[in-house]
Amino acid sequence: MKEEILRLENVIRKINGITYLDNLNFQIFKGEIMGLLPLDNHGKSQLIEVISQNVPLHFGRVYFDDQLVNYYEHSSRTKNRVYLIDKETNLIQDLKVTDNLCVLNPAFQDYVIKEKKLQTITRELFGQFGIEIDADQYVSELSMLEKTIVELLRAVLNGAQLIILNELSNFLSIEELAFFQQLIRYYTKKGIAFLYIANHHEEAFQICHRVALFAKGKIIKVLREKEFSLENLHPYILVFRRHQGFSEPHRQAGVFQCAELWTEHLQGISFSVEKGECVTILDVNNRGIQELAAIVNGYLRPESGRIVVDGKAIPLRKERNLFLDGVAYIPENPVPASLFYDLSYLENLTFMIERKLKRSLIPPRILSGVKEEFRCLVGAEIEAKDLWGLEMKSLYNLVYLRILLYKPKAVFIMQPFSHADMYLRGRIIELIKLLKEKEIAVVILAVSISDTLSITDRLLIMEKGKLAPSSHGFTGLTPYLW
Amino acid sequence: MKVKKDIYLVDRLVLLFLFLFILMAILFSFLVALAPDRGSYLFFFAFALILALVLYGAYRWIYLPYRENNKVLRLFADGYIFRGVFDLRVHFNRESFLAFQKFKEILDTKELLEGTKKHAEYLALQNQINPHFLYNTLEGIRSEALIAGVESIANMTEALETFFRYTISDMDKLATVEEEIAHVQTYCQIQRFRFGEKINFQVDWDREQDPGIMQAKIPKLTLQPIVENAVFHGIEPKLGKGLVTLRLERTPRRLLITVSDNGVGMEEEQVNRLNDKLRGASLTYIKKDKKTSGIALLNVNNRIKLLFGDEYGIYLYSKPGAGTDVEITLPLLL
């Protein structure tokens, strides 16, 4: 017999008059991996909040472990035994793994910390799964996978009955994800339930027992294992048709070339990208692309190798931001990372253009020219005095149109689809196509394949810092992705 | 509803408390002014501490329950809840508590249940005399007779007889899931005379995990109206074969039944409207003359809520082209 660990009944959550959760019904059974595919991000964080803590509800009831813990009349604000694993770690970075696991556990009652005893417990715990993490290591020194594993073990030790996994594929590579999923399966057998929030159905279908589709603050469909097929999903999603096959690696020199690039995690990679071409580098181990991005941004100097932009070799004797050499970079989740909400739309759009134009002051006629040129693309938004009232779609427009204004030779984009809902992903695809049309070479750095194949001309797979000889004909993906 | 413009009793109390609070504040400032002259702050601090404690106590003990009660009454007025209004955590006073209990007795579920039961019977009766239902069934019998299949005519008549007997019999009784499924199967058998292979019905449940689920008790005529809805609104307008799936699951306290069809589905606005209506118990739909969509769902939902409480009932998932899932939550009665 199934036992419910969580039950949300007709839950309505309103904040400042905005309905974030709208008559939401939803249950998770003990030992179940319940998938959640958010088609849009409206209400997602409020759902996590309602599950984790008994915050006031406009209406509805929340049952945790078959007990009514929150309802419309009275909300105690107590926390449920729920643990959230997200890209932002809950671990204390400056403490050791042992301390995070054992000492910060509410069940730890000792007055004296016996380090050796705790280390033994930690090592035994890791030993069960053949994990090689040094118990004495500081959390800040761990890789993303190691941090995520420590978080999971911490959640289990803390007695969490439900663990929320928020978009793991945004920060774990395919290989890491496969390993982590084994741990998840192991703990389901121990009765722990998981809410697996995924941004791609294929990822959720691989591991979940049921998958709920979430849109506009409500569950619009619950699919069971038997119903896991694209055909059943089709009426609910936007389908982005996969790019018609990959192009052959070209023989002539591209507008961006990198040859025999060596760093700690890059093992002599070489690739070349042509004008208007989109190349995706899929990092299976989640090591190399971070260093590639660091080189482009001037945070890291390669040990050896060569970078050529538009036929001009870039001197790499010291760290060098490649922006002025014609290589732009769009970070992951670019809105908070690269926009300034208090500046106007035009100021954001023309931010750093003076460096591109090599002038300290930009004449007003140039600014008004830019304004008129982009008005036909974004309409009245160009007049916005600040960015606070703009929708996410408009903010993404701004990020990509700014690149269009800089007219770089190449642009590196780190995980363009992470943190984006289905509708936004559609817009990002259009924006990347726009960059390609303007003959800008696009390099997508990704740890998960997600929707990149709908725009990619060539896929390069990076494994242990090396690019596979040929990624042409990479299989294992469905023809349609969303 | 017209809202009477008046100063309500509680508003008057609030005004009085406000007045007292201002008086206390004046007294407090007077003490603050006097304290340096007398050279002793002890009384001043004691007064401040007591005042803070009284205010905190008033907030936790009076204001929060008052706000919660207001919210419950507002939800009741807006049609979100029905029985929940009688279960306030803190009642206004003993008289209001007694009045609420009396109100509960007068308007108790029995009377409302009688209304929904009557309406369910009416719907069932309407089905019996519904010309389309009758003509189509008779047309089926005639066709079969023409083909000279005497046995099939007998089968069909028997199915009809079984169907009507179950429908008309005592509505007060709870039926087992098994009986309800048998009734749905009879209904599908009758419909198959008209639609042929287009109507398919299957039951999906885990025999190993949920033994005894078939003996669980549910209100009579819970499943058939929902399946009928699925057939008429989902499968009939659809091209090709239709399938209605009944999925049964149980937890230690609940019985979860999902009726899914692979029919044409519903528009989002219609789903939202129905789900909003299904959230609470209301009898307004009975008063309406014309037949509104989802009336059978509302009827079943009302009976469940009135019998077992606001936390049970029906929820709907649907999308054009994707079919409809009707999720029924009931208490597990074995």
For residues A223 and A335, give the distance between their C-alpha atoms in angstroms, rounded to a whole number: 33
To 10 degrees, what angle do helices B150-168 and B131-146 make? Answer: 160
Residues B248-272, mean pLDDT to the nearest whole number: 93
Whole-prediction pTM value?
A: 0.81
Of A195, A199, A219, nearest to A209 (Cα)? A195
Residues of A in contact with B275 (CB under 8 A): 23
Q: Higher confidence at residue A264 or residue B107?
A: A264
Question: Is residue B150 over pLDDT 80?
Answer: no
B333 by DSSP, 3-state: which? Answer: coil
Burial (Cβ within 10 Å: 0-12, 13-18, ≥19) of residue B147: exposed
Of B257, B188, B198, B186, nearest to B228 (Cα)? B188
Q: With CB atoms and an 8 Å threshold, state whether A23 touches B279.
A: yes
N- to C-terminal Cα separation, chain A = 35
| Confidence class for position B217, pLDDT limits 50, 70, 90 | very high
- Asked if residues A221 and A213 have their Cβ atoms less than 8 Å apart, the reply is yes
Share of chain B above pLDDT 70, in %: 76
Low-confidence winner among A362-371, B36-45, B91-100 (lowest mean pLDDT): B36-45
B221 by DSSP, 3-state: which? Answer: coil
pLDDT the model gives residue A482:
37
Q: Provide the CB-side half-sphere exposure for A253 (13 A, CA).
A: 12
Token representation of residue A59? 């209406």
The C-alpha torsion from B134 through B140 and B146 to B151, rounded to 10°, is -110
For residues A472 and A334, give the distance between their C-alpha atoms in angstroms, rounded to a whole number: 30
- Asked if residues A344 and A374 have their Cβ atoms less than 8 Å apart, the reply is no
- Cβ of residue A77 closer than 8 Å to a chain B Cβ: no
Could you read off the pLDDT of B58-67 as tens digits, one per residue? 888 888 888 8
Of A411, A435, A455, nearest to A256 (Cα)? A411
Q: Are strands A466-467 and A193-197 parallel, antiparallel or unpaired?
A: unpaired
Supply the ipTM of this predicted assembly. Answer: 0.78
CB atoms within 10 A of CB A238: 11
Q: What is the DSSP string of A282-334?
A: EESSSSHHHHHHHHHTTS---SEEEEEETTEEEP-SS---GGGGTEEEE-SSH
Task: Classify each residue of A305-342 as buried b or exposed e, where b means 16 or more C-beta atoms within 10 Å of its C-beta.
Answer: bebbbbeeeeebeeebebbebbbbbbbbbbbeebbeee
B102 by DSSP, 3-state: which? Answer: helix
A92 by DSSP, 3-state: which? Answer: coil
Most confident of A27-31, A286-290, B2-6, B152-156: A27-31
Q: With CB atoms and an 8 Å threshold, state whether A1 touches B250.
A: yes
Give the phi and the psi of residue A399 in degrees, each rounded to 5. Answer: -60, -45
Determine the residue of chain A that is closest to B328 in CA distance. A25
CB atoms within 10 A of CB B148: 8
- Asked if residues A277 and A442 have their Cβ atoms less than 8 Å apart, the reply is yes
- Cβ of residue A29 closer than 8 Å to a chain B Cβ: yes
pLDDT the model gives residue A480:
37
Q: CA of A63, closest CA in chain B: separation in Å?
A: 11
Of A406, A426, A403, A394, nearest to A354 (Cα)? A406
- Asked if residues B32 and B51 have their Cβ atoms less than 8 Å apart, the reply is no
The C-alpha torsion from A255 through A412 and A422 to A397, rounded to 10°, is -90
For residues B189 and B295, give the distance between their C-alpha atoms in angstroms, rounded to a whole number: 23
Q: With CB atoms and an 8 Å threshold, state whether A61 touches B249.
A: no
Residues of A in contact with B329 (CB under 8 A): 9
Chain A contact probe: residue of B61, B63, B66, B71 with most A CBs at under 10 A: B71
Residues in chain A: 482
Give the phi and the psi of residue A67 in degrees, each rounded to 5. Answer: -110, 135
Q: With CB atoms and an 8 Å threshold, state whether B322 touches A235.
A: yes
DSSP B302: H
Determine the residue of chain B that is closest to A213 in CA distance. B317
Chain A contact probe: residue of B78, B205, B254, B316 with most A CBs at under 10 A: B254
Burial (Cβ within 10 Å: 0-12, 13-18, ≥19) of residue B152: middle
- Asked if residues B293 and B232 have their Cβ atoms less than 8 Å apart, the reply is no
| Percent helix / strand / coil, chain A, rounded to 5 | 35, 25, 40
Residues of A in contact with B251 (CB under 8 A): 1-4, 29, 66
pLDDT the model gives residue A464:
85
H helices of B130-174, in order, are 131-146, 150-168
Determine the residue of chain B that is closest to A5 in CA distance. B251
Determine the residue of chain A that is closest to B280 in CA distance. A10
Q: With CB atoms and an 8 Å threshold, state whether B84 touches A73.
A: yes
Q: Higher confidence at residue B107 or residue B210?
A: B210
Determine the residue of chain B that is closest to A2 in CA distance. B251
- Cβ of residue A72 closer than 8 Å to a chain B Cβ: yes
- Cβ of residue A9 closer than 8 Å to a chain B Cβ: yes
Which amino acid does the sequence have at A194? F
For residues B306 and A130, give the distance between their C-alpha atoms in angstroms, rounded to a whole number: 55
To 10 degrees, what angle do helices B150-168 and B177-195 make? Answer: 140
Q: With CB atoms and an 8 Å threshold, state whether B325 touches A72.
A: no
Q: Which of A4, A59, A66 sits opposite B80 (nearest CB)?
A: A59
Question: Is residue B249 over pLDDT 90?
Answer: yes
Determine the residue of chain B that is closest to A222 in CA distance. B317
Residues of B in contact with A73 (CB under 8 A): 68, 71-72, 84, 88-89
Q: Are strands A33-38 and A193-197 parallel, antiparallel or unpaired?
A: parallel
Residues in chain B: 334
Which amino acid does the sequence have at A402? R
Token representation of residue B114? 């009688």
Token representation of residue B139? 């047309």
For residues A364 and B38, give the distance between their C-alpha atoms in angstroms, rounded to a whole number: 70
Give the mean pLDDT of chain B.
80
Q: What is the DSSP string of A156-190?
A: HHTT-SEEEEE-GGGTS-HHHHHHHHHHHHHHHHT
Its sign, for the CA torsion B105, B107, B113, B114, is positive
Could you read off the pLDDT of B293-332 as tens digits, one per residue? 567 888 889 888 888 888 899 999 999 989 999 999 999 9
Chains A and B: how many Cβ contacts under 8 Å?
Answer: 62
- Asked if residues A446 and A279 have their Cβ atoms less than 8 Å apart, the reply is no
pLDDT the model gives residue A418:
85
Q: Mean pLDDT, 10 residues at a time, over chain A (482 residues)? A: 93 92 93 94 93 94 94 90 92 91 82 83 85 88 92 92 93 89 94 93 92 93 92 82 58 81 90 91 86 91 90 85 90 91 92 80 86 89 91 93 92 90 88 93 87 84 80 42 38
For residues A99 and A216, give the distance between their C-alpha atoms in angstroms, rounded to a whole number: 41
For residues A300 and B120, give the distance between their C-alpha atoms in angstroms, rounded to a whole number: 75
For residues A349 and B289, give the distance between their C-alpha atoms in angstroms, rounded to a whole number: 60
Q: With CB atoms and an 8 Å threshold, state whether A23 touches B71.
A: no
Rama region for A425: left / alpha / beta (φ>0; ψ in -120 to 50; rest):
alpha
